[in-house]
Structure 1
Amino acid sequence: MKKYKTIVFDLDGTLLNSLEDLCDSTNAALNKMGYPLRSIEEIRSFVGNGVWKLIERAVPNGTTKEETERCFTFFEAHYEKNKENKTRPYEGIIELLQELKKRGYRTAVISNKYHEAVGTLTGHYFSGLFNAYLGETEGIPKKPAPDGVRRILELLHCQPFSAIMVGDSDVDILTAKNADLRSVGVTWGYRTRELLKQVGADYIIDEPKELLNLLDEGL
């Protein structure tokens, strides 16, 4: 009998490499505002806490809240039309999800990206491979608060002791801790192995297929 029944995945940096599209839309918004553009490495360091925080970090220091909101509006409009230009699943992710489904695991996505975008991207790239998804939703605090994970587990009728969380960032590992889940950090995303170790990931993997090995070993 499987020790774990549900696998909860982060989206950006874990399932999808969306960094270039996020960078392009951020810079389109910054350009519209007349602000300096950001490098892709800067954008990499800004993501993980939702798109509002991404824009808040990308605008120049001292930018007013009103101007930040204008920039965010430009970002949202651009990203809505361009979020699938360069975004792709990481190598091995589709095969991993197919195998998890074949083995009878329930899978879910939780992201700090706004809920509608999570639904669009999940449906486009992973049709039929997830049992539930949740993005930024009014009334549910974003990761690393545990509320979103708890909502997902409720939807899937799953207890924390029979679920694990997989993500690429400190935000994901802290979310897992706050929700009393075991955590698996992945090194192919937007953060470093050192950071994942520092924040206390229970396991760290370098390739998607290694998750199957961990599950086979009972973590």
Structure 2
Amino acid sequence: MQYNTIIFDCDGTLLNTYDLIAHTVVKTFEECFPNIKLSDEEVDAFFGPLLEDSFAKYTSDEELFNKAIDTYHKYNLQLHSEYVYAYPNVKEVLKTLKEKNYNLVIVSNKLTATIKYGLEIAGINQFIDKIIGSDIMKAPKPDPDGIKQALNGIENPQALMVGDTAFDILAAKNAGIQSVGVTWCQTKRADFEKIGADHIIDDMMELLNILE
């Protein structure tokens, strides 16, 4: 299939933000929920879903909930420069795709401004044509709205979604486009096979083979 548009998730796909998110979650809980000691599995559960959905599991108090969200964003921005960087071969692949005139878009369940900041720190913002964050979507992935917005204005879009979680693969399915699961974050090859990813790669360079 001939594609003209590649849609990427951000965290866990283009940017290694694992340590950033883990440190941010821990510092937020130390400040807002000092009596709760999170397990590694509970910290990992913050990867992928909307932040609001994650914190809603820990409090029904609106004031505390809002404080936790604000505190998370505060620490997340403070720690970006220390913990955010692109995965191996991401910059090289984005550069190659841009030279081949692909439309490169990010659709992420993360705030648009924070996505842009991370891309700038990693030195890859110049390759991205459009960013659809959680504040722009009508509903988060796996809802297809972000992908549909990403394709608005592109003539005869033939798109491929690249992501590291089930949310990305299911969003692609719901939008009627093909998907690529990447194995360098948390989701394993067997899990991608189970949810029906069309392609699975272990290195970003392999994406170029799919597009040949």
TM-score (norm 2): 0.91
Determine the C-alpha separation between the residues in 2 that align with 1:39 and 1:88: 25
Q: Report deviation, 1:69.
A: 2.8
* Residue 202 in structure 1 maps to residue 198 in structure 2: yes
Question: After the TM superposition, which residues 19-98 of structure 1 pair with which residues of structure 2 at under 5 Å, given as runs?
Answer: 19-33=18-32, 34-57=34-57, 59=58, 63-66=59-62, 67-98=64-95
Asked if 1:106 is matched to 2:122, the reply is no
How many residues are paired up?
A: 209
- Work out the CA distance in 1 between the residues paired with 2:115 and 2:107: 8
Q: CA deviation at 1:179?
A: 0.7
Deviations for 1:134-191, whole angstroms, at most 9, x for unmatched residues?
Answer: 11125621111111111110043453xx110000110000000011110010101221
Q: Distance in 2 between matches of 1:139 and 1:176?
A: 15
Q: CA deviation at 1:9?
A: 0.3
**Within 1, Cα distance between the matches of 2:53 and 2:153?**
28
Contact in 1 for aligned 2:137/2:146 (Cα 8 Å): no
Correspondent of 1:131 among 113, 129, 143: 129
Residues 19 and 43 in structure 1, CA contact (< 8 A), matched pair in contact too: no
| Percent of residue pairs bearing the same amino acid type | 31
Name structure 2 gaps, 5 residues minimum. none
RMSD after superposition:
1.8
Give how far 1:15 is off.
0.4
Cα distance in structure 2, aligned partners of 1:139 and 1:206: 29
What is the deviation of 1:209?
Answer: 0.7
Structure-2 separation of matches of 1:101 and 1:40:
38
Say if 1:89 and 1:138 are closer, same or farther in 2 by CA, change over 3 A: closer
